[in-house]
Amino acid sequence: MAMLILEDCISCGKCEPDCPNDAIAPGDSCYVIEAEHCTECVGASTEPTCVGLCPVDGCIVPDPNRVESREVLQLRFESLRAS
């Protein structure tokens, strides 16, 4: 499951530089997460790094439209490292 940044985002940019998959980028009104690159930090960390860095509580949540197993996320992480 990819993470999702909600409209509560204040565009502070704290999440972007520490994303291990470079999945976070500035959007029109707030930061966005490219789901094809998000692994919820599986393979890099025990928790999604962006959530811990975000100063807005509850702003970054699991995307309910992208439910994926840890195995799928791990394979994506490995695939991103190979490219």
Burial class (CB in 10 A: 0-12, 13-18, 19+), 71: exposed
Write the CATH number for 68: 3.30.70.20
- Check residue 10 and give its pLDDT: 97
- Check residue 1 and give its pLDDT: 79
**Mean predicted confidence (pLDDT) in 54-64:** 97
- Check residue 41 and give its pLDDT: 97
- Check residue 68 and give its pLDDT: 95
Sign of the torsion formed by the C-alpha atoms of 37, 23, 46 and 55:
negative
- Check residue 33 and give its pLDDT: 98
Q: How many domains is the chain partitioned into structurally?
A: 1
Give me the count of residues in the chain.
83
pTM: 0.91
d(CA 21, CA 58): 21
Residue 21's domain spans which residues? 3-82
